[in-house]
Amino acid sequence: MNIFLTFDYELFFGSETGSVEKCLIEPTNALLVLAKRYSIPMTFFVDVGYLIRLETESEKHRQLKSDLAKVKNQITEIIESGCDIQLHIHPHWERSYFNGQKWIIDMNGHYKLSDFEVEEMIHIVSFYKTYLEELTQKSVHTFRAGGWCIQPFDRLKEIFKEIGIRYDTSVFAGGYFESKDYFFDFRTAPRKSVYRFEEDVCLEKANGFFTEYPISSYKYSPLFYWRLYTLGRLFPEQHKMIGDGQFLAQPGRKKSVLTNFTWNHVSSDGYYASKLQQSLQNWKNDKHENMVVIGHPKGNTKFSVAKLERFIHRNYLENSFRSFQELH
C-alpha cells in the first residue's frame, strides 16, 4: 500500500486566523520530527495566496516581516527534510488584508476559484504556481483546492494543462457540503484510490489528461462525533488544537454529523487520527493501491500527533510512505 501523508499548510479563515507560530511553525515542526525519525516523506500543500499577501502587506506593516521570514525558513526546512511542497489555493486572499492588528478575511463571493471571472482565475492559478516554484526552486505539478472547492473543473482544465498541473487530490468520495461561501459534491466520485479524468473530477475517463489521487474517505458514525466533541471538553490538554484560530462557520454541519452517518475524509487531525489504522485496513480489504491522508498543522493536538506516530511506526516497514513529488 502506498500511503500519502498530506497537510494543508494554512491559517484559519474564521473571525480569528490565528498566529503563524501556533498554526504553522510549532505544529509543523512536530510533524517534521516524525518525518525525520522514520525517514518518510510528507507532502505540504502550501496556501500560496497567504504568502503572497504576507509579502505585500509586510511592506506596510513591519510586524509581518517576522512572520514572513518564519514561514519561508520553515518551507526551506520542509524541503531539506525530504518532504514535498505542492500547490494549495484559497483565493479569498485576493480580497483580504491586514488592518494593523489582525487579518480581515473577505469570504463574500471570493472563497472559490469559480467565484472569479475567467481572466482573474487564470492569473491567480498561474501566478501562485510561479511564486511557489520560484520560492522552492522545485517543480510543482499537484493541486489541492481550498475547502475542496474544485468544482466546476471545466473552467480550470485549460489553464492547468498550460502550466503543467497534472495531478489533483481535492476529492473524497461521498463528500458533500453546500453553504453560502463554499460548495463541493463528490457523491458520484469513483470509489477508487486513483483514476483519470478530463473535465469533471467525479467522472472517470480512461484517457483523461489529469490524474486524481482522492483523499481516502471513511463513513463516520454519529457516535464518533459525540466522542469528538465530548473529549475536547473533558480532556482539553490532549484534545485542544495547537492552532489558535477559529474555523470558518459551516451552518448545520454539527447537527448533521451528530445525527447521521457521514462520509468524510481520512484525516490525521485531532480525534480523526484515531481512525487511521482502521481506515488503512478498510482500504486494504477493498484492494486499493493508495491511501491519501489529509491533515492540517493547525489541527494537530497532542492526541493526534501521538496517534500519527503510532500509525507510522506500525506501518512504515510494511507499506510505502510516498510524496507527490515522486509521481511522473
Residue 306 has φ and ψ, to the nearest 5°, of: -65, -45
- Write out the residue range of the structural domain in which residue 294 sits: 2-326
User: For residue 19, what pLDDT is reported?
Assistant: 97
Side chain identity, residue 216: S
Reported as a single tens digit per residue, the pLDDT across 61-97 is 998 999 999 999 999 999 999 999 999 999 999 999 9
Half-sphere exposure of 103 (CA within 13 A, CB side): 28
pTM of the model: 0.97
Indicate the number of domains in the chain.
1
Low-confidence spans in the chain with pLDDT less than 70: none
User: For residue 225, what pLDDT is reported?
Assistant: 94
Reported as a single tens digit per residue, the pLDDT across 287-311 is 999 999 999 999 999 999 999 999 9
In angstroms, rounded to a whole number, what is the distance separating the alpha carbons of residues 300 and 96? 25
Average pLDDT of the chain?
A: 95
CATH number of the domain within which 226 lies: 3.20.20.370
Grid coordinates representing 263 are: 462520509
In angstroms, rounded to a whole number, what is the distance separating the alpha carbons of residues 42 and 83? 5
Reported as a single tens digit per residue, the pLDDT across 260-297 is 999 999 999 999 999 999 999 999 999 999 999 999 99
